[in-house]
Amino acid sequence: MSNHCELIWVNGKFIPFKNATTHVMSHTLHYGSGVFEGIKCYKTELGPAIFKLDEHINRLYSSANIYKIKIPFYPDELIQACIDLVKKNNIESGYIRPIIYFGYDSLGVHPKKCPVNVSIAMFNWGAYLGKDALEKGISVTISPWRKFHSSSFPTVAKANGQYLNSLLAVQDAHEKGYDEALLLNQEGTIAEGAGQNIFLVKDNELFTNSEDSCILMGLTRDTIIDLAKDNNIPLNIGRLSLGQLFNANEAFFCGTASEITPICSVDGRLIGFGKPGETTRKLQNLYLDIIHGKEKLYNHWLTYI
């Protein structure tokens, strides 16, 4: 497929890509007032399958509720819209982007009677962190920009304007020649990547942080936690320090777009031996098998089209 699908679902109807526009006076364009999700569809032996579709749509509604955005559709309608989007565009795999946002009524910060618009598009994103990222791993830098505190923004919401924080971190990382940024929180412990959660491996034990580290509670993160439990990999959830990161045997980012991406170095300092480790590979291979329908035990996470 081309980089984008030909049809986009907008407010209950499928329309051509070129017609899916919004006005420059829309509230969301001026204030970032919207919420979104990133969902992936994968090619399997049984046809296209969307990974954790219900969970993503449920989180979309949770994010909208936090910002008091009343979605004018039921969750089942958006779930079906995602399924129909794949069918109508005749796509085997791709990235699905639902977005809910305030349109135009007022340019005051309070949205007042601004209409709530809903759209779902699909496109081919490819390897989010580069062609060789999954296989060879990536280089990371610690961002000078801190992750915002949960007392300033609801970190559990996946909201449009909040990602300006990530934008600054990514710009800085790329300007310095790194693949991705790692943000610390206001307390100086590890938060997350610009768009990913983080896991560390030390002495065959898995470590990740919790909501009090001001992170988005990622669905891929939840998946890794479940897989660790199912495969008897010791799991520790708590605050992560830079010392733990630098002394880790392995580290990896995880997210819908990034999947499971090994971290090989941080600011030039090798993590472990500077290459993907055994535990990371084990979880990565299992995850890839699951999303492609090769692990039947986890088929309940897939919505087959």
Catalytic residue (one of 52, 147, 158, 202): 158
Contacts of 136 (CB under 8 A, 6+ apart): 262, 264, 275, 276
Give the Cα separation of 256 and 40 in Å (integer): 7
Q: Which residue has the tokens 């795999």?
A: 93
Give the Cα separation of 283 and 139 in Å (integer): 20
* Catalytic residue list contains 158: yes
Point out which residues pair with 180 in neighbouring strands: 140
Residue 68, both tokens = 């008091």
Question: Where are the extended beta strands (E) located within the chain?
Answer: 7-10, 13-16, 34-36, 39-44, 47-51, 94-102, 116-123, 138-142, 180-184, 190-193, 197-202, 205-208, 235-237, 250-255, 259-266, 269-270, 302-304
Catalytic residue set: 158
